[in-house]
Amino acid sequence: MELVSENRSFDGKQLVFKHPSNTTGCEMTFAVYLPPEAEDGKVPVLWYLSGLTCTHENAMTKGGFQEHAARNGIAIIFPDTSPRGEGVADDDAYDLGQGAGFYVNATRDPWKPHFRMYDYITQELPSLVMDHLPLEDRHGITGHSMGGHGALTIALRNPERYDSVSAFAPITHPTQSDWGRKQLSAYLGDDEGNWSQHDSTLLLDELGWKNDILVDQGASDQFLDLLKPEALAAAMAKRRQPGQVRMQKGYDHSYYFVSTFAADHVEWHAERLL
Amino acid sequence: MELVSENRSFDGKQLVFKHPSNTTGCEMTFAVYLPPEAEDGKVPVLWYLSGLTCTHENAMTKGGFQEHAARNGIAIIFPDTSPRGEGVADDDAYDLGQGAGFYVNATRDPWKPHFRMYDYITQELPSLVMDHLPLEDRHGITGHSMGGHGALTIALRNPERYDSVSAFAPITHPTQSDWGRKQLSAYLGDDEGNWSQHDSTLLLDELGWKNDILVDQGASDQFLDLLKPEALAAAMAKRRQPGQVRMQKGYDHSYYFVSTFAADHVEWHAERLL
């Protein structure tokens, strides 16, 4: 794990690291914000998974999360959204390949050798950061758009690891969306039976979630037809799942939406992790 | 004035406009954040001038100002840092030409035709925004680095227009710094007598300022030798100028520094403008 940059921010530290990854077979970059409390002891962790076309950097620079993490005394980790590099498969489309890992383990060529973001996020990166940073083994997870899909599906499948889950404008039902069918087909093949483990609406309907869930969605989001918040809301209502899907009047899909509600989410996770 | 983008942010609006400028002879872009109060009436304005290499966009996306402007009920305007475009002179160096207007009216070729950022910021853009946006004729001004230099020099020379001034890591003494001598020489010529109107240390010594001044400076800023906070601090102390230059332990020159202290500055201006 090699330090790429360090900046003081809200009396804590905004750090960027890179490391060779066994899981993805390439060098991976991630960012972590450590609050002032981390100088004196271990702090809980909130994982923030980013959306299509993003790297570790977008939420780190535009989300305004540091202020809220400092105030609440929790760390936030910002992983990259896919493997990257010359030897890694890619596609000309913005929504497939590098920058669009969809948080799955690909089983099909050409993606299979490197596109293993599910294992990277749930296994390798947690193990690495717990070994090297002052972090408690206590985790919440959130994300935006494709990252909201990642957060929800990963939490629902791993309730023993995560104690809180929320999402900003998540892709909720990828098996029925053009943000999903194309990618799941490419990464996992055409047998749709293999897709359901990566669809939070289907997972929630099947498994439920042990605590409450917080989802914020801009009511003027330009991608509502692809995100399908109504699918997740219906599954939550049907299952009597504690939680809320908040439709926020006037907000779009941008980081102006994410930063507006970042304080609510960080505080909400902190209440459940501390 | 043509609307380029509009995003809801903290219940207000983050807007970007472009317009043909008579002053700079090219199309100019600027951003403005309007707080929720602007729906019902006019609000005071804080001008934020950006630093070398920046456009209207850096502080808008990375400064986290919207939250604080919304809470305090003031607008923030983010102008560009220079004229731009194909017909506009430029230089290969990052610190001269496009992205480096230094908030002066150039009197030397090739800069003279377009590089008139002093008049653009003090005359044309205020007139334009007052005509088209719900803004009170009540102004504060701040900025970062080269923009801190712009804020201080512009306020000190125009006390009838601005009621509050602050700065983040300003270039305080450009007549004695490599961030200044090169540019003032290029834009204004080698007669150093013409430079003193663009040096906040000299201006403060000569004119003082009607109210108090707030300056934040990272103590671990990588550009301290160019910024020379000690020059401004000495001039303030010598003149018994109300105000403070706060050396902030551990902070560098980045937007992680700016965003950390953005709340303090916005609130400080709001107290003096409302």
Distance from CA of A17 to the nearest CA of B (A): 17
* Measured distance CA(B8)–CA(A46) in Å, rounded: 26
Mean pLDDT of B158-179: 98
Contact A255 B64 (CB under 8 A): no
Q: What residues of B are in contact with residue A62 (Cβ under 8 Å)? A: 61-62
The answer to whether the beta carbons of residues A16 and A31 sit under 8 Å apart is yes
The answer to whether the beta carbons of residues A174 and A150 sit under 8 Å apart is no
* Measured distance CA(B127)–CA(B124) in Å, rounded: 5
Q: Where do we find the tokens 């910021």?
A: B121
Q: What is the pTM of this model?
A: 0.95
* Measured distance CA(A32)–CA(B262) in Å, rounded: 21
| Phi-psi map region of A103: left, alpha, beta (phi>0 left; psi -120 to 50 alpha) | left
Distance from CA of B211 to the nearest CA of A (A): 28
pLDDT at res. B184: 98
pLDDT at res. A8: 98
> Best residue in B4, B6, B8, B257 to probe A by mutation, most A CBs within 10 Å?
B8
Nearest CA in chain B to A59: B62
What is the CB neighbour count within 10 angstroms for residue B187?
A: 25
Of B265, B212, B201, the C-alpha closest to B59 is B265
Contact B8 A252 (CB under 8 A): yes
pLDDT at res. B11: 98
* Measured distance CA(B188)–CA(A94) in Å, rounded: 47
**Could you give the 3-state DSSP secondary structure of residue A154?**
helix
Residues A58-97: pLDDT tens digits?
999 999 999 999 999 999 999 999 999 999 999 999 999 9
Q: Which of B61, B256, B257 sits opposite A62 (nearest CB)?
A: B61
User: What domains lie within chain B, and their CATH numbers?
Assistant: 2-271 (3.40.50.1820)
- What are the CA-CA distances from residue A37 to residues A11, A67, A70, A138 (Å)? 9, 13, 8, 15
Mean pLDDT of A201-227: 98
Contact B259 A9 (CB under 8 A): yes
pLDDT at res. B204: 98
* Measured distance CA(A253)–CA(A51) in Å, rounded: 11
Give residue B183's pLDDT band: very low, low, confident or very high (50, 70, 90): very high
Phi then psi for residue A51, to 5 deg, are -95, -175
What is chain A's percent helix, strand, coil content, to nearest 5? 40, 25, 35
* Measured distance CA(A62)–CA(B5) in Å, rounded: 17
Q: Which of A7, A218, A259 sits opposite B256 (nearest CB)?
A: A7
Give residue B30's pLDDT band: very low, low, confident or very high (50, 70, 90): very high
Residues B7-27: pLDDT tens digits?
999 999 999 999 999 999 999
Give residue B58's pLDDT band: very low, low, confident or very high (50, 70, 90): very high
* Measured distance CA(B82)–CA(B114) in Å, rounded: 9
* Measured distance CA(B77)–CA(B14) in Å, rounded: 10
Residues B62-118: pLDDT tens digits?
999 999 999 999 999 999 999 999 999 999 999 999 999 999 999 999 999 999 999
Average pLDDT in chain B: 98
Nearest CA in chain A to B264: A10
Active site residues of B: 145, 221, 253
Rg of chain A on CA atoms, in Å: 17
* Measured distance CA(B108)–CA(B116) in Å, rounded: 11
Q: What residues of B are in contact with residue A33 (Cβ under 8 Å)? A: none
Q: Which residues of B139-169 are buried (b: 16+ CB within 10 A; e: fewer)?
A: bbbbbbbbbbbbbbbbbbbeeeebbbbbbbb
The answer to whether the beta carbons of residues B153 and B176 sit under 8 Å apart is no
Nearest CA in chain B to A33: B256
Q: Which residues of B touch A (CB under 8 A)?
A: 7-11, 14, 61-62, 64, 66-67, 218, 220, 250-252, 254-257, 259-260, 263
> Best residue in B221, B256, B264 to probe A by mutation, most A CBs within 10 Å?
B256
Distance from CA of B169 to the nearest CA of A (A): 15
* Measured distance CA(B62)–CA(B67) in Å, rounded: 12
- What are the CA-CA distances from residue B202 to residues A68, A104, B127, B205, B234 (Å)? 40, 61, 28, 5, 11
Contact A64 B259 (CB under 8 A): yes
**Could you give the 3-state DSSP secondary structure of residue A114?**
coil
Judge if ipTM > 0.85: yes
Active site residues of A: 145, 221, 253
**Could you give the 3-state DSSP secondary structure of residue B32?**
strand
Q: What residues of A are in contact with residue B54 (Cβ under 8 Å)? A: none
